[in-house]
A and B are shown apart, each in its own frame.
Chain A
Amino acid sequence: MTTATAPGRTSTSSGGPTPPQPARRGRMKSPYPTWFFIPAGVFYVVLFLVPTVASFYFSLTRWTLFDVEFIGFDNFVRFFQEPQLVTGFVNTFIYAFVTSGSKVVLGLLLGVFLSSQIVARGFLRATIFFPVLVSTIGVGILFEVLMDPFGGPINEALAAIGIEGPAWLTDPSLALLSVALVDVWKGVGLATLIYIAGMVAIPQEYFEAAKVDGASAWKNFRHITLPLLRPATVTVVLLSLIGGLRSFDLIWAMTGGGPGFTSDVLASVIYKQYQAGFFGLSTAGNVVLFVVVAAIIFPLSWWLNRKGDDQ
């Protein structure tokens, strides 16, 4: 699967295995000029770094059409006091952990399954992966209709087998999870493919050796597959957590944060505050999101990768 570009995990880390560059020619005339960084750097610094740094200042202001007034931490206080904003904060975690957990479990199962000898493997892989490429808005619109509580195809189908379907998107206790379900539907293909790529990278000798020992399929899975798929798991966890914490478009397309505020997440709160003209508050939300993402992802990735190296 990954043959086109993936040079395996062995030879990738930048400059690691390559010998230090001999200082044969003068420092000035390196064939690898650092100014190659500059054009990309301009885009990055101007449109990513500057706004990110500026956001720390603007989050402390009341920012209107015409002027900026410094108000200290009021925006953050408001953020953690107003029930509707707190809902968004809590929901972000629920959404991220539910989608990420489901993608790991389902992706792993599907990845292992689709690496085994079954018919129509290629078709199945292609089918599961395709939703990854479809526009989120398209998927949102589609499922909003499919999940319609009155006469929507999903509930009609459930009714046909005698189950009364819930009010997916309009039941306050269910709306967020329904959107998460669609998110998993759309994203599980990527997780699956990452696991398949991981499976391909497991040397066959392990399984052959296990076969000689007469190990059961379960033992194979438990003691060979699972540990060796660790890098893939790390990737799936990190990718889907980052995506889940920042998630906006699917929620916005399907519920707009409703009913009421029950399916709001940080990113939708940020957008609503922006739309209402509360630029300072919106930016404070951005800083909160920034901190949340950084506080979860950096330690987690460090911890996961370190444990990986230990083995």
Chain B
Amino acid sequence: MVPRTPRRSIVAIGAGGLALALTLAGCSAGGSDSGEGGATSLTFLVDNGEATVATAQALVDAFEAENSDISIEVDTRPQGADGDNVVKTRLATGEMADLFQYNSGSLMQALNPDQTLVNLQDEAYVGKFDENFVKSVSTDNGVYGVPMGQSMAGAVIYNKDIYAELGLEVPTTWDEFIANSEAIKAAGTAAPIVQTYGDTWTSQLFVLGDFNNVLAEEPDWAEKYTNNEAKYVDEPAIAGFEHLQQAFEADLYNEDFASATYADGVSMVATGEGAQYPILTFAASQLMTTNPEAADVVGTFPIPGGDAASNGLTVWMPTNTVYVPKSTEGDKLEAAKKFLEFLTTPESCDIQAESNAPQGPFVIEGCELPDDVPAMVSDMQPYFDEGRTNLALEFLSPIKGPALEQITVAVGSGITSAADGAAQYDEDVKKQAQQLGLEGW
């Protein structure tokens, strides 16, 4: 019912934008106010998403209560590509806040961490981090970030009531998934698969969330891809594009898929208007805001691939990660490190879980999810416990083409075939790799 909302997504999973080296940040807070007397005052730059600000402020309040000699002021920046610009500019000009929150993975790699960020490799708490998380905030030379938030998955969220009513089982292969969808279509009460191209970034999930299955078939695919040896037009990676096309051709999408938005999509699954929706599990927070009554109705399963044996989740590390720029020095650096250490404590995790609905398991040893998390989050835990997870491609390779979301919209809308779409994306990736100056392209 709701028209599309242009551009900019809540999380810049697709933004991937590089920014121009800007000389002047348009932001407040130069981060230059020096500590008065014994107290050290820090600035902490976070994106202006309501949830991020609330979490950051709650953490700061708790930290200040324990450390009366340190005061931290939370500052905000825009999200999406604009925010990327601000962060890069301020880093490049040495005007960054004393602490800042930013993405992990390839977006973090684009910050030139070796030159701009403080290396945390030798801090004791790094040992408590999930191995996958460490990968997502490291270069060959160091470890740079501390998580503020949980990991999440690119998976299918589904309405358990519909599944129960029709006697369906959670699918472990793509064929089962399609069979389920056909059954739901035949029942006629709900849209089998929800797509929401009003927010274009949501169209990428069939491709990005399929990566566990790609790695299952070819464990070194990410490396080959970075080296210009593996392509999306070939098996196994083309499967994601084919799934989009196949589901479109089988007429399994909701009627208003072209104009519906992300918020609509989550509501549809919650209310039973739609049955299954491939999305990032941070949708838990949207669900708890708009449809809290459906907390136990909406569940999660991995995007299925060809082989039931390798069925597993494609995982995103916490997009909210806290870094310290090299421009923070002396007392401020000490204070900033203290804050980072605080972030890794169970106390901090509890505050995070409280101030914002969890989207998946924590990545710090000793941090537990509360018992009352929504079903779509608790459904993920077994996969983590059994080790049936793989990192998403953007944490394993610095290359992500900027046009993927338009290409997947085109494939999912029947404008472009899967093969053409994959070929277009390979070109897009090539552009990006050349721009990054990678070897072999």
Contact = CB atoms under 8 A, between A and B. Distances in A.
Contacts, number: 103
A281 B413 contact: no
Interface in B396-415: 402-403, 406-407, 409-410, 413, 415
Contact of B415 (A78, A255, A262, A276): A262
B6 interface: yes
Contact of B16 (A84, A145, A152, A276): A276
A82 interface: yes
A259 B409 contact: yes
The DSSP consensus for interface residues of chain A is loop
Given A167-B258, A172-B415, A278 B431 contact: yes
A149 B259 contact: yes
Interface string A263-292: 000000000100111110100000000000
B216 interface: no
B38 interface: no
Contact of A259 (B403, B415, B436): B415
A88 B258 CA distance: 20
Contacts of B81: 275
A25 B282 CA distance: 79
Contacts of A171: 258
A183 interface: no
A257 B3 contact: no
Given A151-B1, A167-B258, A259-B197, A82 B427 contact: yes
A255 B409 CA distance: 13
Interface stretch (B18-26, B95-103, B145-153, B289-297): B18-26
B281 to A, nearest CB: 25
Interface in A139-176: 144-145, 147-152, 167, 169-172
Interface stretch (A7-15, A33-41, A62-70, A215-223): A62-70
Contact of B21 (A65, A148, A275): A65
Contact of B17 (A78, A256, A277): A277
A261 interface: yes
A4 B10 CA distance: 50
Given A259-B413, A262-B415, A148 B259 contact: yes
Q: In the complex, which of the residues A83, A145, A170 has the most CB atoms of chain B within 10 Å of its own CB atom?
A: A170
Contact of A252 (B6, B88, B420): B6
Given A172-B415, A259-B410, A276-B402, A64 B435 contact: yes
B437 interface: yes
B434 interface: yes
A49 B95 CA distance: 32
A260 interface: yes
Contacts of B19: 65, 277
A155 B1 CA distance: 12
A148 B256 CA distance: 10
A261 B406 contact: yes
A163 B200 CA distance: 29
Contacts of A259: 197, 258, 409-410, 413, 415
Pairs of residues from A and B, 3 with the lowest C-beta to C-beta distance, nearest first: A277-B18, A260-B410, A170-B258
26 contacts: A64-B437, A65-B19, A65-B20, A65-B21, A69-B437, A78-B431, A83-B420, A144-B4, A147-B3, A150-B256, A150-B259, A167-B258, A169-B3, A169-B4, A169-B259, A172-B413, A252-B6, A258-B406, A259-B197, A259-B410, A259-B413, A260-B409, A260-B413, A262-B410, A277-B17, A278-B431
